[in-house]
Amino acid sequence: MKTFYIETFGCQMNAHDSEKVVGTLVHSGYTQVDTPESAGLVVYNTCSIRDKAEQKVFHRLDQFKRAAGKGKLFAVIGCVAQQEGERIFEKAPHVSLVAGSASYTKLPEMLVQLEAGNRRVTGLDLDTDETFDTPFTRRDNPHRAYITIIEGCDKACAYCVVPFTRGPERSRTSESVMREARDLAAAGYTEVQLLGQIVNSYRDPSPAGWDFATLLDRVGRIPGMRRVRFTTSHPRDFTKEIVQAIDENPALCNHVHLPVQSGSNSVLDRMRRLYTRDEYLRRIEWIKKSPRNISITTDIIVGFPGETEADFQSTLDLLDQVEYDSLFAFKYSPRPNTAALGMEDKVPEEEKTRRIMILLEKQRAIQIRRNSELIGAIEEVLVEGRNQALGQWIGRTSQNRTLNFTHSGPGGESLMGTYLPVQVTRAGPNSLVGESLPSVV
């Protein structure tokens, strides 16, 4: 029997790529198993966005070096595969397949080569206009599904490996996205998340020519679709029409993730982010003016080369001005091939640590304040899990907040995947606590 084990590192794009890779493997006659020990083929879908993510992969490969002698095969796919290419065969000679995401459409052929005994199979071509669409996707969640609408990235942020690891920007046709969304709704999925490294740069390549706001709206109008999310938006391509679509379509969630990276114009300029602080803030203003209570989240990098104390203070000041509902903060990590690699005035590691701690402390206070404002509010949640120990259900609000709640009505397993009104009774920095109300639906 042909068996495989897959481990996924990194972002939602990778998580969803793995769902498609799993589907492709199963369609090629493989059976998925739960441990690398019991698998004939071990697949690592890798991330190289920061140094640490990359190290994890080589650490994993080292752990299983000796197993290779016993006929076990290893595949490294995703961003580290694309970035390191055939060097992986030198670093980890027990690896037999190395493929980047731009080559996944060729996965069935690569598997045939592997099965024929080829121990140096590669898929590293970046020059493609194809996207990886497959009818065989094995989705991990029965209620919430990812849909990739655009792959790759044509921007050139000075710190970022994505344009080198995921290839050029290519959008799917609106027809193919709509077909997938309709099929998902028909199969009982009520929430979808549209995915792309720069999801809002979507451009329909078919004559219909839809822009992102149109696609978002149309997906939200599919019967049965209750929640539509999207990630990640680039501020430069974030239009007023996106906010208008959210205003007018209740199925579009009250949440925009809009990575700013820095509050300082000089850092933004050197990062090549293609917007100024004021231009970014104008977009925040559109979102805040919406009659919907749209939550706003972001990504920040601290310690980019040349970031001064004054630059860092500008970022802290931006946090006060925007009052984000949540954020991801990262210490700048030098990446191969990127423009920032050669920049001077590196910020020492201890200083990056100091800055990230100050930033997270400030954000924690903002989140406590913002979450507390929700005490007493009634939020609709999609029930996503159960915490047996606390006797609580785990729900997610439209604003993408976790709301843990107790439920005294009828329940059991049947609550999973349902939507319930929950009254917020307590608030912490990272989640809310509440009690379900008798459903009004």
Judged by CB under 6 A, does residue 159 bind ligand SAM? yes
Residue 24 interacting with ligand SAM (CB under 6 A): no
In the list ligand SAM, ligand SF4, none, the entry touching 58 (Cβ below 5 to 8 angstroms by class) is: none
Q: Are the C-beta atoms of residues 182 and 222 closer than 8 Å to each other?
A: yes
State the nearest-atom distance from the C-beta of 172 to ligand SAM, in Å.
17
Of the candidate residues 121, 153, 216, 287, the single one contacting ligand SF4 (CB under 6 A):
153
Q: How many residues bind ligand SAM (CB under 6 A)?
A: 18
Among 73, 110, 160, 374, binds ligand SAM (CB under 6 A): 160
Out of 68, 81, 157, 184, point to the residue binding ligand SF4 (CB under 6 A).
Answer: 157
Applying the rule CB under 6 A, the residues between 65 and 104 that interact with ligand SAM are: none
- Residue 36 has phi, psi (to 5 degrees) of -65, -30
Residue 427, contacted partner among ligand SAM, ligand SF4, none, CB below 5-8 A by kind: none
By CB under 6 A, name the one of 9, 212, 312, 332 that touches ligand SAM.
332
Q: Which stretch in 97-105, 112-120, 157-165, 432-440 sits in contact with ligand SAM by CB under 6 A?
A: 157-165
Tell me which H or E stretch contains 415. none
Q: Should residue 43 be labelled a site residue for ligand SF4 when binding is judged by CB under 6 A?
A: no
Q: How many CB atoms lie within 10 A of CB 375?
A: 14
Residue 429 near residue 367, CB atoms below 8 Å: yes
Q: 10 Å Cβ neighbour count for 129?
A: 11
12 binding ligand SAM? (CB under 6 A)? no
Site for ligand SF4 in 193-222 (CB under 6 A): 197-198
Distance, CA of 228 to CA of 45 (rounded, Å): 26
260 contacts which partner out of ligand SAM, ligand SF4, none, CB within 5 to 8 A by kind? none
Residue 330: contacted member of ligand SAM, ligand SF4, none (CB under 5 to 8 Å, by partner type): ligand SAM
Q: From ligand SF4, ligand SAM, none, which one binds at residue 227 (CB under 5 to 8 Å depending on kind)?
A: none
Residue 333: contacted member of ligand SF4, ligand SAM, none (CB under 5 to 8 Å, by partner type): ligand SAM
CA angle 104/109/110 to nearest 5° reads: 70
301 touches ligand SF4 by CB under 6 A: no
By three-state DSSP, how is residue 23 classified?
helix
Contact between 11 and ligand SAM by CB under 6 A: the answer reads yes
Q: Does 131 bind ligand SAM (CB under 6 A)?
A: no
Contact between 114 and 97 under an 8 Å Cβ cutoff? The reply is: yes
| Candidate residues 73, 92, 97, 160; the one interacting with ligand SF4 per rule CB under 6 A | 160
Rounded-to-integer distance, Cα 189 and Cα 321, Å = 37
> Is residue 299 within the footprint of ligand SAM (CB under 6 A)?
yes
What DSSP string describes 276-305? -HHHHHHHHHHHHHSSS--EEEEEEEE--T
Q: Rule CB under 6 A: which of 161-220 touch ligand SAM?
A: 162, 197-198
Q: Encoding tokens for residue 248?
A: 């007018």
Least Cβ distance, residue 281 to ligand SAM (angstroms): 16
Alpha-helical regions (H) of 155-276: 162-165, 174-186, 212-220, 240-248, 265-271
Identify residue 44 by its one-letter amino acid code.
Y
Answer yes or no whether residue 163 interacts with ligand SF4 by CB under 6 A.
Answer: yes
Angle at 352 between CA 346 and CA 354, to 5 degrees: 140
Find which of ligand SAM, ligand SF4, none residue 301 binds, CB within 5 to 8 Å per kind: ligand SAM
Min. distance of Cβ 359 from ligand SF4 in angstroms? 18
Using CA atoms, how far apart are residues 5 and 9, in angstroms rounded to an integer? 14
With CB under 6 A as the contact rule, which of the stretches 154-162, 184-192, 388-396, 415-423 interacts with ligand SAM?
154-162
Distance, in Å, from the CA atom of 45 to the CA atom of 53, rounded to the nearest integer, reads: 11
Residue 263's binding partner out of ligand SF4, ligand SAM, none, with CB under 5 to 8 Å set by partner kind:
none
300-333 burial, b at 16+ Cβ within 10 Å, e below that, comes to bbbbbbbbeeebbebbbebbeebebbbbebbbbb
Residues sharing a CB contact under 8 Å with residue 106, sequence separation 6 or more, in sequence order: 99, 123
d(CA 165, CA 406): 44
> Residue 307 CB, nearest distance to ligand SF4 (Å)?
16
Return the residue of 106, 155, 288, 354 that touches ligand SF4, per CB under 6 A: 155
Q: What residue ranges bind ligand SAM (CB under 6 A)?
A: 11, 49-50, 159-160, 162, 197-198, 232, 234, 259, 261, 299, 301, 330, 332-333, 335
